[in-house]
Amino acid sequence: MKIITLLLILISLTTFGQNVKVLDLTSNSYSSGTSYYVYIGSQMQVTDKWTFEGWLYVDSRGEDDYPVIMDRKTVFSWYLIDGTEQDTYCIRFVARNTNDAIIASLRCDGVDGSTIKAMSFGTWYHVAVSRDGTTARMFINGTMVHNSTDADFVLSTPEGNTVNYGARYWVDYERFLDGALDEMRYSDIARYTSNFTITKSTLPHATSGDNNTILLFNFDNSDLTNSTSANTYTALSHGTLNYKSWDGLPDVLPLPVELTSFSASIVGKGVILNWETATEVNNYGFEIERSSTPLGTNNPSQAETREWETIGFTEGHGNSNSPKDYSFVDNDPLNGNISYRLKQIDINGAFEYSDIVTIKINKNFTNKLQQNHPNPFNPSTVITYELGDKNFVTLKVYNTIGQEIATLVNKEQSAGTYEVQFNAEDLPSGVYFYSLTTDNFVSIKKMILIR
């Protein structure tokens, strides 16, 4: 079995900035602002099983004001209500009858047995309401705050009656949302029946291949045309709609590429860069950049004054919600303290930089591992190696299944030639490996013990 040892210089946990869009709805009072709406067709009706969900960001809410997240006249309303603490708000979802009266309710303000959830302004929340045919439930950030078996949550299906987002706009009655929305999805299935995990680094909803999604607005292309395979529709706007990048708001939403590790390692005369992503959205790939300009920090925001060169490109996986591993080899590294960074590029051409990893390369000196002598041996052998400069040296012995047998050296040593004896009088005959690791050198050799 071959044993591979890498010299790990630095691991940096980071995430790339957000490039896709959210819908930014701004208003000065409940009677002005912007919103959008969709005309309901026969294929968009929901009755006993449904899920309405999305990401919600609220800038403000006026006194005695009930801004709307989503609404369908004489069917349902989802809106903001008074918070349980100062400078907070709560949300409520209600079913309505043909007279538009409330006949069933889910909420998060502690009323009717609900769990209190005080929601803060200037913060993103994932909000969802879902019914499985028997029980309707409300979730905030994946945690259920209220449930009800009220049969009135079987929603009616009147002809017409558009679905409004960001407002309850009925000509003489307006309730506009002052905030932002994203990933607004309307489904004819119960997607959530118990607590679930969703965070601001969760992969956004798929835009194809899901026939239970009947309306989906993800705003990535800054438009209101659906991109699902279930139905074809175009939403209409009330007022002029504005779009912002996810990172254009103080509390950002899911990242298109979540980088969980980035490291640089020296093997032989080259440098290996390894990185891993947890999720990817529209990831075209990574340009690998290198610099020898001194820098006092590895923060990408401090890298603008450095001189960077592109030394390669690695293609991304496009869209993924599972870990993906990447590597790149710099076969001709520069001399000295060398830094590397990744330029993550989206399919639409937008890009962001990773944090920086730095590694020391010393081409003026060489480290050499010479063969042990004798080989084969019984019961001992001498391992010889040469250091071109002061290095921290680790010399270990392994068996063929990778178990460490002995540590012969684990300390800093000056330049020079060294001989280390390995005594195997208590070991059985067979093949063994010894590994020498220094600041800029790794080598593995085989030796044979014969009794």
Of 138 and 235, the structure prediction assigns the larger pLDDT to: 138
Residue 59 Rama label (left phi>0; alpha psi -120 to 50; beta): alpha
Evaluate whether 106 touches 156 at the Cβ level (below 8 Å). Answer: no
pLDDT at res. 11: 34
Give CA–CA dist 292/161, Å, rounded: 63
Q: Are 314 and 343 in contact (CB under 8 A)?
A: no
Q: What's the rounded Cα separation, in Å, for the pair 165 and 226?
A: 14
pLDDT higher at 156 or 266: 156
- Reported as a pLDDT band with limits 50, 70 and 90, residue 172 is low
CB 168 within 8 A of CB 175: yes
pLDDT of residue 421: 94
Mean pLDDT of 111-135: 96
**Residue 199 confidence (pLDDT):** 77
Quote the CA–CA distance of 439 and 170 in Å, as a whole number. Answer: 71
pLDDT at residue 297 is higher than 60: no
Per-residue pLDDT reduced to its tens digit, 241-254 = 898 887 778 887 76
Specify the DSSP element, H or E, that contains 229.
none
Q: Using the predicted structure, report yes or no on whether residue 381 has a pLDDT greater than 90.
A: yes
- pLDDT exceeds cutoff 70 at 226: no
Average pLDDT over residues 182-194: 94
What domains, with CATH codes, occur in the chain? 7-17+255-361 (2.60.40.10), 22-248 (2.60.120.200), 368-449 (2.60.40.3080)
Q: Is pLDDT at 13 greater than 90 in this prediction?
A: no
**Stretch 277-283: mean pLDDT, rounded?**
80
pLDDT score for 32: 77
Q: Are 217 and 20 in contact (CB under 8 A)?
A: no
Say which DSSP state 160 is in: S
Question: Across all residues in the chain, what is the average pLDDT?
Answer: 83
Local confidence band at 193 (pLDDT 50, 70, 90 cut-offs):
very high
C-alpha 69/C-alpha 54 separation (Å) is 9
Average pLDDT of 411-435?
Answer: 90
Express as a percent the part of the chain with pLDDT over 90. 41
Q: What angle do CA 97, 102, 107 make, to 5 degrees?
A: 135
Which pTM does this prediction carry?
A: 0.62
Is the pLDDT at 361 greater than 60, yes or no?
Answer: yes
Whether residue 45 is predicted with pLDDT greater than 50 in this model: the reply is: yes
- pLDDT of 43 higher than 80: no
* Alpha carbon separation from 148 to 77, 94, 152 (Å, rounded): 16, 11, 10
